[in-house]
Amino acid sequence: MLKFDYQFLDQLPADPVEENFTRQVSEACYSLVSPRPLINPSLISVSKPLAKSLGLCEQDWQSDWFLNIASGSALQSDMRPYALCYGGHQFGHWAGQLGDGRAINLGDLPDINQQFQTLQLKGAGPTPYSRSADGLAVLRSSVREYLCSEAMHHLGVATTRALSLCLTGEQVMRDMFYDGNAALEKGAVVCRVAPSFIRFGNFQIHASRQETTLLKQLADYVIKRNFPDLGEPSAEVYEQWFETICDSTMAMIIDWMRVGFVHGVMNTDNMSILGQTIDYGPYGWLEGYDPNWTPNTTDAQGKRYSFGNQPQIAQWNLYQLANALLPIIGRVERLEAALENFADAYQQQAQKMYANKLGLQHHSGEKDEQLIDQLFLMLQLSETDMTIFFRCLAKMETEKNYTDQQLFELVEPAYYAPQQLTDDHMNSIYKWLSDYQRRISGQSWSDAKRSAKMNQTNPKYVLRNYLAQQAIDSADKGDYSEIERLMSLLERPYDEQPEYEDYAKKRPEWARTKAGCSMLSCSS
Protein backbone atom coordinates (compact mmCIF):
# COMPACT_ATOMS: atom_id res chain seq x y z
CA MET A 1 0.00 0.00 0.00
CA LEU A 2 1.49 3.34 -1.04
CA LYS A 3 0.96 6.39 1.14
CA PHE A 4 0.24 9.40 -1.06
CA ASP A 5 0.45 12.99 0.13
CA TYR A 6 -2.26 15.45 -0.96
CA GLN A 7 -1.12 18.80 0.35
CA PHE A 8 -1.70 20.28 -3.10
CA LEU A 9 -5.39 19.39 -2.82
CA ASP A 10 -5.62 20.40 0.83
CA GLN A 11 -4.05 23.82 0.34
CA LEU A 12 -5.51 24.93 -2.98
CA PRO A 13 -9.10 25.37 -4.12
CA ALA A 14 -10.84 22.62 -6.10
CA ASP A 15 -13.36 22.86 -8.87
CA PRO A 16 -16.65 22.31 -6.95
CA VAL A 17 -18.14 20.26 -9.78
CA GLU A 18 -17.21 16.59 -9.52
CA GLU A 19 -18.86 15.23 -12.67
CA ASN A 20 -16.48 14.52 -15.53
CA PHE A 21 -17.53 16.62 -18.54
CA THR A 22 -15.68 19.19 -20.61
CA ARG A 23 -15.99 22.70 -19.21
CA GLN A 24 -14.29 25.98 -18.28
CA VAL A 25 -13.12 25.77 -14.67
CA SER A 26 -12.61 29.10 -12.92
CA GLU A 27 -11.56 30.01 -9.36
CA ALA A 28 -9.89 26.59 -8.97
CA CYS A 29 -6.46 25.02 -9.51
CA TYR A 30 -7.71 21.51 -10.33
CA SER A 31 -10.66 19.17 -10.75
CA LEU A 32 -11.02 15.80 -9.06
CA VAL A 33 -11.29 13.09 -11.68
CA SER A 34 -10.73 9.33 -11.75
CA PRO A 35 -8.87 7.35 -14.38
CA ARG A 36 -10.97 4.89 -16.38
CA PRO A 37 -11.20 1.30 -15.15
CA LEU A 38 -9.79 -1.13 -17.71
CA ILE A 39 -10.78 -4.72 -18.48
CA ASN A 40 -7.42 -6.04 -19.58
CA PRO A 41 -4.43 -3.75 -18.91
CA SER A 42 -0.89 -5.11 -19.09
CA LEU A 43 2.55 -3.86 -18.11
CA ILE A 44 5.08 -3.45 -20.91
CA SER A 45 8.06 -1.94 -19.12
CA VAL A 46 9.26 -0.37 -15.87
CA SER A 47 12.17 2.04 -15.41
CA LYS A 48 14.01 0.09 -12.76
CA PRO A 49 16.34 2.90 -11.62
CA LEU A 50 13.33 5.17 -11.12
CA ALA A 51 11.20 2.50 -9.43
CA LYS A 52 14.06 1.83 -7.01
CA SER A 53 14.45 5.53 -6.27
CA LEU A 54 10.80 5.50 -5.23
CA GLY A 55 11.54 2.65 -2.82
CA LEU A 56 9.90 -0.03 -4.98
CA CYS A 57 11.40 -3.48 -5.53
CA GLU A 58 10.90 -6.03 -8.30
CA GLN A 59 8.18 -7.83 -6.35
CA ASP A 60 6.28 -4.52 -6.18
CA TRP A 61 6.37 -3.69 -9.86
CA GLN A 62 5.41 -7.23 -10.83
CA SER A 63 2.34 -7.15 -8.61
CA ASP A 64 -1.27 -6.61 -9.60
CA TRP A 65 -1.57 -3.55 -7.42
CA PHE A 66 1.27 -1.89 -9.32
CA LEU A 67 -0.35 -2.66 -12.68
CA ASN A 68 -3.67 -1.31 -11.41
CA ILE A 69 -2.12 1.95 -10.27
CA ALA A 70 0.31 2.38 -13.19
CA SER A 71 -2.44 1.84 -15.77
CA GLY A 72 -5.04 3.74 -13.74
CA SER A 73 -7.32 0.73 -13.87
CA ALA A 74 -7.98 0.55 -10.13
CA LEU A 75 -6.59 2.90 -7.50
CA GLN A 76 -6.29 2.48 -3.75
CA SER A 77 -9.42 3.68 -1.96
CA ASP A 78 -7.52 6.47 -0.21
CA MET A 79 -6.28 8.04 -3.45
CA ARG A 80 -7.65 11.39 -4.67
CA PRO A 81 -6.70 11.73 -8.35
CA TYR A 82 -7.00 15.12 -10.04
CA ALA A 83 -6.37 17.07 -13.24
CA LEU A 84 -4.71 20.51 -13.25
CA CYS A 85 -6.21 23.65 -14.72
CA TYR A 86 -3.77 25.61 -16.88
CA GLY A 87 -3.72 27.77 -19.97
CA GLY A 88 -1.01 28.69 -22.41
CA HIS A 89 0.32 30.38 -25.50
CA GLN A 90 0.35 27.94 -28.39
CA PHE A 91 2.59 28.88 -31.31
CA GLY A 92 2.72 32.44 -30.01
CA HIS A 93 -1.03 32.93 -29.49
CA TRP A 94 -2.97 32.91 -26.23
CA ALA A 95 -5.13 29.78 -26.29
CA GLY A 96 -7.11 30.23 -23.06
CA GLN A 97 -7.83 27.22 -20.87
CA LEU A 98 -6.03 24.01 -21.80
CA GLY A 99 -5.39 21.93 -18.67
CA ASP A 100 -4.60 18.26 -18.09
CA GLY A 101 -6.74 16.91 -20.92
CA ARG A 102 -5.22 13.47 -20.80
CA ALA A 103 -3.11 13.53 -17.67
CA ILE A 104 -4.36 12.53 -14.23
CA ASN A 105 -2.25 13.15 -11.14
CA LEU A 106 -2.28 10.33 -8.62
CA GLY A 107 -0.70 12.23 -5.70
CA ASP A 108 2.76 12.71 -4.22
CA LEU A 109 5.07 9.98 -2.89
CA PRO A 110 8.30 10.57 -0.97
CA ASP A 111 11.29 9.07 -2.79
CA ILE A 112 14.21 7.43 -0.99
CA ASN A 113 15.72 10.89 -0.42
CA GLN A 114 12.48 12.09 1.19
CA GLN A 115 11.72 14.37 -1.76
CA PHE A 116 8.08 14.39 -2.81
CA GLN A 117 7.46 13.16 -6.34
CA THR A 118 4.12 13.52 -8.10
CA LEU A 119 2.96 10.47 -10.05
CA GLN A 120 0.90 11.31 -13.11
CA LEU A 121 -0.80 9.04 -15.66
CA LYS A 122 -0.84 10.17 -19.27
CA GLY A 123 -3.58 8.61 -21.38
CA ALA A 124 -5.80 7.31 -18.55
CA GLY A 125 -9.05 8.83 -19.81
CA PRO A 126 -10.85 12.12 -20.25
CA THR A 127 -10.95 14.97 -17.75
CA PRO A 128 -12.88 18.27 -17.59
CA TYR A 129 -9.96 19.70 -19.65
CA SER A 130 -10.16 17.24 -22.54
CA ARG A 131 -12.03 19.74 -24.77
CA SER A 132 -13.05 17.80 -27.89
CA ALA A 133 -10.40 15.08 -27.51
CA ASP A 134 -10.57 11.64 -25.90
CA GLY A 135 -8.07 11.83 -23.04
CA LEU A 136 -6.20 8.83 -24.40
CA ALA A 137 -2.72 8.14 -25.74
CA VAL A 138 -1.52 5.64 -28.31
CA LEU A 139 1.32 3.15 -27.93
CA ARG A 140 3.49 4.96 -30.52
CA SER A 141 3.62 8.25 -28.64
CA SER A 142 3.76 6.58 -25.23
CA VAL A 143 6.85 4.55 -26.21
CA ARG A 144 8.44 7.77 -27.40
CA GLU A 145 7.69 9.59 -24.15
CA TYR A 146 8.75 6.65 -21.99
CA LEU A 147 12.09 6.09 -23.72
CA CYS A 148 13.02 9.73 -24.15
CA SER A 149 12.24 10.83 -20.57
CA GLU A 150 14.58 8.22 -19.20
CA ALA A 151 17.21 8.77 -21.91
CA MET A 152 17.27 12.51 -21.13
CA HIS A 153 17.63 11.83 -17.42
CA HIS A 154 20.66 9.62 -17.99
CA LEU A 155 22.14 12.25 -20.31
CA GLY A 156 22.02 14.65 -17.37
CA VAL A 157 19.26 16.84 -18.82
CA ALA A 158 16.59 18.10 -16.41
CA THR A 159 13.41 16.22 -17.22
CA THR A 160 10.23 14.67 -15.94
CA ARG A 161 10.72 10.91 -15.62
CA ALA A 162 8.73 7.88 -16.78
CA LEU A 163 8.13 5.06 -14.31
CA SER A 164 6.16 2.64 -16.45
CA LEU A 165 4.53 1.92 -19.77
CA CYS A 166 1.26 -0.05 -19.85
CA LEU A 167 -1.09 -1.18 -22.56
CA THR A 168 -4.69 -0.30 -21.81
CA GLY A 169 -5.96 -3.32 -23.78
CA GLU A 170 -8.18 -0.91 -25.72
CA GLN A 171 -7.91 0.66 -29.14
CA VAL A 172 -7.80 4.35 -29.95
CA MET A 173 -8.69 6.08 -33.21
CA ARG A 174 -6.03 8.45 -34.59
CA ASP A 175 -5.47 10.35 -37.80
CA MET A 176 -1.70 10.35 -37.61
CA PHE A 177 -1.07 12.89 -40.37
CA TYR A 178 -4.35 14.79 -40.30
CA ASP A 179 -4.98 13.58 -43.84
CA GLY A 180 -8.30 11.83 -43.37
CA ASN A 181 -6.76 8.39 -42.90
CA ALA A 182 -7.79 7.64 -39.34
CA ALA A 183 -6.93 4.18 -38.01
CA LEU A 184 -7.21 2.22 -34.78
CA GLU A 185 -4.06 2.03 -32.71
CA LYS A 186 -3.22 0.36 -29.40
CA GLY A 187 -3.92 2.54 -26.35
CA ALA A 188 -1.24 3.01 -23.70
CA VAL A 189 -0.58 4.83 -20.43
CA VAL A 190 2.73 6.22 -19.21
CA CYS A 191 3.18 6.91 -15.51
CA ARG A 192 5.23 10.10 -15.33
CA VAL A 193 7.11 11.28 -12.26
CA ALA A 194 8.33 14.78 -11.31
CA PRO A 195 8.62 16.90 -8.16
CA SER A 196 5.92 19.08 -9.75
CA PHE A 197 3.95 19.14 -12.99
CA ILE A 198 3.10 22.83 -12.65
CA ARG A 199 3.72 24.74 -15.89
CA PHE A 200 4.06 28.41 -16.81
CA GLY A 201 0.47 28.06 -18.02
CA ASN A 202 -0.83 27.25 -14.52
CA PHE A 203 0.00 30.84 -13.52
CA GLN A 204 -1.07 32.31 -16.83
CA ILE A 205 -4.61 30.97 -16.58
CA HIS A 206 -5.27 32.66 -13.21
CA ALA A 207 -3.63 35.91 -14.36
CA SER A 208 -5.74 35.94 -17.52
CA ARG A 209 -8.88 35.61 -15.39
CA GLN A 210 -7.75 38.23 -12.88
CA GLU A 211 -7.85 35.57 -10.15
CA THR A 212 -5.08 37.32 -8.23
CA THR A 213 -5.72 35.68 -4.85
CA LEU A 214 -5.57 32.27 -6.46
CA LEU A 215 -2.47 33.22 -8.41
CA LYS A 216 -0.77 34.15 -5.14
CA GLN A 217 -1.95 30.99 -3.40
CA LEU A 218 -0.53 28.83 -6.19
CA ALA A 219 2.78 30.74 -6.27
CA ASP A 220 3.11 30.47 -2.50
CA TYR A 221 2.38 26.76 -2.57
CA VAL A 222 4.96 26.10 -5.31
CA ILE A 223 7.62 28.20 -3.57
CA LYS A 224 7.12 26.48 -0.21
CA ARG A 225 6.96 23.02 -1.74
CA ASN A 226 9.57 23.15 -4.49
CA PHE A 227 11.74 26.19 -3.70
CA PRO A 228 11.90 26.08 0.13
CA ASP A 229 15.35 27.73 0.20
CA LEU A 230 13.82 30.99 -1.04
CA GLY A 231 12.03 31.53 2.29
CA GLU A 232 8.65 33.08 3.15
CA PRO A 233 6.95 34.40 0.00
CA SER A 234 7.09 38.19 -0.50
CA ALA A 235 7.46 40.47 -3.53
CA GLU A 236 11.21 40.08 -3.28
CA VAL A 237 11.01 36.31 -2.97
CA TYR A 238 8.76 36.16 -6.05
CA GLU A 239 11.41 38.13 -7.96
CA GLN A 240 14.16 35.77 -6.80
CA TRP A 241 11.97 32.85 -7.70
CA PHE A 242 11.49 34.22 -11.21
CA GLU A 243 15.26 34.61 -11.57
CA THR A 244 15.70 31.01 -10.43
CA ILE A 245 13.18 29.88 -13.06
CA CYS A 246 15.10 31.84 -15.72
CA ASP A 247 18.31 30.10 -14.62
CA SER A 248 16.91 26.58 -14.58
CA THR A 249 15.10 27.08 -17.90
CA MET A 250 18.33 28.32 -19.43
CA ALA A 251 20.30 25.38 -18.03
CA MET A 252 17.76 23.01 -19.58
CA ILE A 253 17.99 24.70 -22.99
CA ILE A 254 21.80 24.65 -22.88
CA ASP A 255 21.59 20.92 -22.31
CA TRP A 256 19.14 20.48 -25.19
CA MET A 257 21.58 22.30 -27.47
CA ARG A 258 24.46 20.22 -26.14
CA VAL A 259 22.86 16.86 -26.86
CA GLY A 260 20.92 17.87 -30.00
CA PHE A 261 17.37 17.65 -28.65
CA VAL A 262 14.52 19.52 -30.31
CA HIS A 263 11.39 19.71 -28.15
CA GLY A 264 9.09 20.55 -31.04
CA VAL A 265 6.20 22.21 -29.12
CA MET A 266 7.61 24.81 -26.75
CA ASN A 267 4.22 26.31 -25.94
CA THR A 268 3.99 27.96 -22.52
CA ASP A 269 1.80 25.10 -21.32
CA ASN A 270 4.72 22.79 -22.05
CA MET A 271 7.22 24.71 -19.90
CA SER A 272 7.78 23.30 -16.43
CA ILE A 273 8.13 25.72 -13.55
CA LEU A 274 11.10 23.57 -12.43
CA GLY A 275 12.95 23.97 -15.73
CA GLN A 276 12.48 20.31 -16.57
CA THR A 277 11.84 18.99 -20.06
CA ILE A 278 8.13 18.12 -20.11
CA ASP A 279 5.59 16.74 -22.60
CA TYR A 280 7.45 14.60 -25.08
CA GLY A 281 5.34 14.94 -28.22
CA PRO A 282 6.73 15.60 -31.71
CA TYR A 283 10.27 15.96 -30.35
CA GLY A 284 13.29 14.84 -32.35
CA TRP A 285 17.04 14.40 -32.23
CA LEU A 286 19.31 16.28 -34.57
CA GLU A 287 21.04 13.99 -36.96
CA GLY A 288 22.60 16.28 -39.55
CA TYR A 289 23.46 19.53 -37.75
CA ASP A 290 20.87 22.08 -38.88
CA PRO A 291 19.67 24.92 -36.65
CA ASN A 292 16.52 25.26 -38.78
CA TRP A 293 15.40 21.70 -38.30
CA THR A 294 12.13 20.91 -36.57
CA PRO A 295 10.67 17.42 -36.28
CA ASN A 296 7.13 18.79 -35.91
CA THR A 297 5.21 18.72 -39.22
CA THR A 298 2.64 21.11 -37.68
CA ASP A 299 5.49 23.65 -37.42
CA ALA A 300 7.10 22.91 -40.80
CA GLN A 301 6.10 26.31 -42.22
CA GLY A 302 6.95 28.76 -39.46
CA LYS A 303 9.69 26.64 -37.85
CA ARG A 304 9.03 28.54 -34.63
CA TYR A 305 10.30 25.64 -32.57
CA SER A 306 13.33 24.67 -34.64
CA PHE A 307 16.55 23.58 -32.92
CA GLY A 308 18.28 26.96 -33.17
CA ASN A 309 15.24 28.95 -32.02
CA GLN A 310 14.93 27.17 -28.69
CA PRO A 311 16.89 29.69 -26.58
CA GLN A 312 14.93 32.62 -27.98
CA ILE A 313 11.60 30.85 -27.50
CA ALA A 314 12.51 30.04 -23.90
CA GLN A 315 13.04 33.75 -23.33
CA TRP A 316 9.72 34.59 -25.02
CA ASN A 317 7.98 32.07 -22.78
CA LEU A 318 9.64 33.55 -19.70
CA TYR A 319 8.24 36.95 -20.74
CA GLN A 320 4.78 35.43 -20.65
CA LEU A 321 5.45 33.98 -17.21
CA ALA A 322 6.70 37.36 -15.97
CA ASN A 323 3.50 38.97 -17.26
CA ALA A 324 1.46 36.37 -15.41
CA LEU A 325 3.33 36.93 -12.13
CA LEU A 326 3.23 40.72 -12.34
CA PRO A 327 -0.10 41.12 -10.47
CA ILE A 328 1.39 39.54 -7.33
CA ILE A 329 4.75 41.31 -7.61
CA GLY A 330 3.51 44.79 -8.48
CA ARG A 331 6.76 46.10 -9.99
CA VAL A 332 8.58 45.29 -13.19
CA GLU A 333 12.22 46.33 -12.73
CA ARG A 334 13.78 43.06 -11.59
CA LEU A 335 11.63 40.97 -13.89
CA GLU A 336 12.66 43.10 -16.84
CA ALA A 337 16.31 42.97 -15.82
CA ALA A 338 16.21 39.16 -15.61
CA LEU A 339 14.60 38.94 -19.04
CA GLU A 340 16.96 41.45 -20.62
CA ASN A 341 19.91 39.61 -19.14
CA PHE A 342 18.71 36.29 -20.57
CA ALA A 343 20.24 36.63 -24.04
CA ASP A 344 23.68 37.70 -22.78
CA ALA A 345 23.71 35.12 -20.03
CA TYR A 346 22.71 32.49 -22.56
CA GLN A 347 25.56 33.47 -24.87
CA GLN A 348 28.03 33.15 -22.02
CA GLN A 349 26.72 29.79 -20.85
CA ALA A 350 26.52 28.48 -24.39
CA GLN A 351 30.15 29.44 -25.05
CA LYS A 352 31.15 27.51 -21.94
CA MET A 353 29.13 24.52 -23.06
CA TYR A 354 30.67 24.56 -26.57
CA ALA A 355 34.14 24.91 -25.05
CA ASN A 356 33.37 21.76 -23.03
CA LYS A 357 32.17 19.98 -26.14
CA LEU A 358 35.47 20.86 -27.79
CA GLY A 359 37.53 19.84 -24.78
CA LEU A 360 38.96 23.34 -24.23
CA GLN A 361 40.43 23.77 -20.80
CA HIS A 362 39.28 27.41 -20.66
CA HIS A 363 37.22 29.49 -23.02
CA SER A 364 39.68 32.19 -23.94
CA GLY A 365 37.45 34.86 -25.45
CA GLU A 366 37.04 36.07 -28.97
CA LYS A 367 39.37 33.60 -30.66
CA ASP A 368 37.51 30.63 -29.25
CA GLU A 369 34.23 32.27 -30.16
CA GLN A 370 35.44 32.40 -33.75
CA LEU A 371 36.56 28.78 -33.64
CA ILE A 372 33.08 27.81 -32.42
CA ASP A 373 31.29 29.98 -35.03
CA GLN A 374 33.44 28.49 -37.78
CA LEU A 375 32.71 25.00 -36.53
CA PHE A 376 28.96 25.44 -36.83
CA LEU A 377 29.31 26.88 -40.32
CA MET A 378 31.46 23.90 -41.25
CA LEU A 379 28.93 21.42 -39.88
CA GLN A 380 26.36 22.88 -42.29
CA LEU A 381 28.45 22.56 -45.46
CA SER A 382 27.07 19.10 -45.98
CA GLU A 383 24.88 16.88 -43.81
CA THR A 384 27.04 16.12 -40.77
CA ASP A 385 25.90 14.08 -37.79
CA MET A 386 26.48 16.26 -34.74
CA THR A 387 26.64 13.42 -32.21
CA ILE A 388 29.14 11.38 -34.20
CA PHE A 389 31.22 14.41 -35.12
CA PHE A 390 32.09 15.32 -31.52
CA ARG A 391 32.92 11.73 -30.56
CA CYS A 392 35.27 11.57 -33.58
CA LEU A 393 36.90 14.87 -32.69
CA ALA A 394 37.79 13.55 -29.23
CA LYS A 395 40.16 11.12 -30.94
CA MET A 396 42.38 13.83 -32.39
CA GLU A 397 45.99 13.64 -31.22
CA THR A 398 47.66 16.96 -30.49
CA GLU A 399 51.18 15.95 -31.46
CA LYS A 400 50.44 13.98 -34.60
CA ASN A 401 51.39 15.33 -38.04
CA TYR A 402 48.20 14.72 -39.99
CA THR A 403 47.90 15.07 -43.73
CA ASP A 404 44.73 16.84 -44.88
CA GLN A 405 43.30 13.49 -45.89
CA GLN A 406 44.05 12.00 -42.47
CA LEU A 407 42.44 14.94 -40.74
CA PHE A 408 39.26 14.40 -42.71
CA GLU A 409 39.31 10.66 -42.07
CA LEU A 410 39.07 11.42 -38.37
CA VAL A 411 35.60 12.92 -38.76
CA GLU A 412 34.45 11.18 -41.94
CA PRO A 413 32.11 8.77 -40.10
CA ALA A 414 29.93 11.83 -39.29
CA TYR A 415 29.33 12.75 -42.96
CA TYR A 416 26.20 11.47 -44.68
CA ALA A 417 27.37 12.29 -48.21
CA PRO A 418 31.11 13.00 -48.16
CA GLN A 419 31.22 12.60 -51.95
CA GLN A 420 29.14 15.78 -52.24
CA LEU A 421 31.80 17.92 -50.57
CA THR A 422 33.43 20.32 -53.06
CA ASP A 423 37.12 21.23 -52.96
CA ASP A 424 36.20 24.48 -51.24
CA HIS A 425 34.27 22.57 -48.60
CA MET A 426 37.16 20.18 -48.09
CA ASN A 427 39.56 23.08 -47.68
CA SER A 428 37.41 24.71 -45.00
CA ILE A 429 37.17 21.40 -43.17
CA TYR A 430 40.96 20.86 -43.26
CA LYS A 431 41.47 24.43 -42.12
CA TRP A 432 39.08 24.13 -39.20
CA LEU A 433 40.53 20.82 -38.07
CA SER A 434 44.08 22.15 -38.15
CA ASP A 435 43.02 25.33 -36.32
CA TYR A 436 41.45 23.09 -33.72
CA GLN A 437 44.58 20.97 -33.43
CA ARG A 438 46.66 24.10 -32.94
CA ARG A 439 44.23 25.34 -30.30
CA ILE A 440 44.38 22.14 -28.24
CA SER A 441 48.15 21.81 -28.51
CA GLY A 442 48.39 25.10 -26.63
CA GLN A 443 46.78 23.71 -23.47
CA SER A 444 48.23 21.53 -20.74
CA TRP A 445 45.70 18.67 -20.77
CA SER A 446 46.92 15.36 -22.18
CA ASP A 447 45.01 13.88 -25.12
CA ALA A 448 43.65 11.20 -22.81
CA LYS A 449 42.34 13.78 -20.39
CA ARG A 450 40.82 15.97 -23.10
CA SER A 451 39.17 13.05 -24.78
CA ALA A 452 37.75 11.73 -21.49
CA LYS A 453 36.33 15.18 -20.70
CA MET A 454 34.81 15.50 -24.17
CA ASN A 455 33.26 12.07 -23.94
CA GLN A 456 31.53 13.06 -20.71
CA THR A 457 29.92 16.03 -22.48
CA ASN A 458 29.25 14.56 -25.92
CA PRO A 459 27.04 11.47 -25.74
CA LYS A 460 27.84 8.45 -27.87
CA TYR A 461 24.24 7.18 -27.79
CA VAL A 462 21.12 9.28 -28.18
CA LEU A 463 17.57 8.19 -28.93
CA ARG A 464 17.91 8.60 -32.69
CA ASN A 465 14.50 9.11 -34.27
CA TYR A 466 14.65 5.85 -36.22
CA LEU A 467 15.73 3.85 -33.14
CA ALA A 468 12.59 4.92 -31.30
CA GLN A 469 10.53 4.06 -34.39
CA GLN A 470 12.02 0.55 -34.61
CA ALA A 471 11.12 -0.02 -30.96
CA ILE A 472 7.58 1.20 -31.73
CA ASP A 473 7.17 -1.05 -34.78
CA SER A 474 8.22 -4.13 -32.76
CA ALA A 475 6.10 -3.12 -29.77
CA ASP A 476 3.09 -2.78 -32.04
CA LYS A 477 3.58 -6.45 -32.94
CA GLY A 478 3.87 -7.40 -29.25
CA ASP A 479 7.67 -7.61 -29.09
CA TYR A 480 9.02 -5.35 -26.35
CA SER A 481 12.64 -6.52 -26.42
CA GLU A 482 13.80 -3.46 -28.36
CA ILE A 483 12.31 -1.16 -25.70
CA GLU A 484 14.27 -3.04 -23.03
CA ARG A 485 17.45 -2.93 -25.10
CA LEU A 486 17.16 0.83 -25.59
CA MET A 487 16.33 1.41 -21.92
CA SER A 488 19.47 -0.44 -20.88
CA LEU A 489 21.72 1.07 -23.55
CA LEU A 490 20.55 4.62 -22.85
CA GLU A 491 21.27 4.28 -19.15
CA ARG A 492 24.97 4.83 -20.03
CA PRO A 493 24.91 7.20 -23.02
CA TYR A 494 28.47 8.47 -22.57
CA ASP A 495 30.11 5.04 -22.26
CA GLU A 496 31.48 3.00 -25.13
CA GLN A 497 29.28 -0.10 -25.33
CA PRO A 498 30.89 -2.19 -28.06
CA GLU A 499 27.96 -4.64 -28.21
CA TYR A 500 25.74 -1.71 -29.22
CA GLU A 501 28.06 -0.09 -31.78
CA ASP A 502 25.30 -0.13 -34.42
CA TYR A 503 23.13 2.12 -32.25
CA ALA A 504 25.74 4.89 -32.49
CA LYS A 505 25.85 4.91 -36.29
CA LYS A 506 24.38 7.41 -38.71
CA ARG A 507 20.68 7.20 -39.48
CA PRO A 508 20.21 4.65 -42.29
CA GLU A 509 18.97 6.03 -45.65
CA TRP A 510 15.57 4.31 -45.44
CA ALA A 511 14.80 6.38 -42.33
CA ARG A 512 15.30 9.70 -44.10
CA THR A 513 11.70 9.98 -45.24
CA LYS A 514 9.90 7.35 -43.16
CA ALA A 515 7.06 8.65 -40.97
CA GLY A 516 8.05 8.74 -37.32
CA CYS A 517 11.77 8.78 -38.21
CA SER A 518 11.96 12.18 -39.84
CA MET A 519 8.62 13.84 -39.28
CA LEU A 520 5.97 13.74 -36.61
CA SER A 521 2.65 15.37 -35.98
CA CYS A 522 1.06 16.45 -32.73
CA SER A 523 -1.59 13.76 -33.18
CA SER A 524 -0.72 11.29 -30.49
Please report, as ranges, the residues that interact with Mg ion according to CB under 5 A. Answer: 270, 279
Q: Any contact of residue 266 with ligand AMP (CB under 6 A)?
A: no
Which of ligand AMP, Mg ion, none interacts with 211 (beta carbon under 5 to 8 A by kind)? none
Instruction: Compute the distance between CA of residue 238 and CA of residue 233 in angstroms, rounded to an integer.
Output: 7
Taking each helix axis from N to C end, the angle separating 212-226 and 200-208, rounded to the nearest 10 degrees, works out to: 160
Which of ligand AMP, Mg ion, none interacts with 265 (beta carbon under 5 to 8 A by kind)? ligand AMP
In the bound complex, which residue of the shown chain has the CB atom lying closest to ligand AMP? 101
Q: Any contact of residue 134 with ligand AMP (CB under 6 A)?
A: yes
Instruction: Compute the distance between CA of residue 448 and CA of residue 459 in angstroms, rounded to an integer.
Output: 17
Count of chain residues binding ligand AMP (CB under 6 A): 17
106 with 121: CB under 8 angstroms?
A: yes
Instruction: Compute the distance between CA of residue 342 and CA of residue 151 in angstroms, rounded to an integer.
Output: 28
Least CB distance to ligand AMP at residue 24 (A): 13
Per CB under 6 A, which region of 42-50, 108-116, 134-142, 248-256 contacts ligand AMP? 134-142
Which of ligand AMP, Mg ion, none interacts with 518 (beta carbon under 5 to 8 A by kind)? none
In the bound complex, which residue of the shown chain has the CB atom lying closest to Mg ion? 279
The single residue among 145, 150, 279, 482 that binds ligand AMP, judged by CB under 6 A, is 279
Is residue 108 among the annotated active site residues? no
End-to-end CA distance of the chain: give it in Å, rounded. Answer: 33
Least CB distance to ligand AMP at residue 69 (A): 21
> One of 269, 279, 299, 385 is an active-site residue; which one?
269
Nearer Cβ to ligand AMP (128/359): 128
**Considering only residues 77-116, where is the footprint of ligand AMP by CB under 6 A?**
98-102
Nearer Cβ to ligand AMP (160/437): 160
**Furthest-apart CA pair in the chain: how many Å?**
75
* Residues whose CB falls within 8 Å of the CB of residue 106, separated by 6 or more in sequence, listed in order: 4, 69, 75, 79, 81, 118, 119, 120, 121, 191
Backbone angles phi, psi at 444, to 5 degrees: -85, -10
DSSP notation for 392-444? HHTT--SS----HHHHHHHHGGGBS-GGG--HHHHHHHHHHHHHHHHHHHTSS
Taking each helix axis from N to C end, the angle separating 447-457 and 386-393, rounded to the nearest 10 degrees, works out to: 160
Which of Mg ion, ligand AMP, none interacts with 101 (beta carbon under 5 to 8 A by kind)? ligand AMP
Nearer Cβ to ligand AMP (89/102): 102
Least CB distance to Mg ion at residue 288 (A): 28
User: Active-site residue numbers?
Assistant: 269
Q: Which residues bind ligand AMP (CB under 6 A)?
A: 98-102, 129-130, 133-136, 265, 269-270, 279, 281, 522
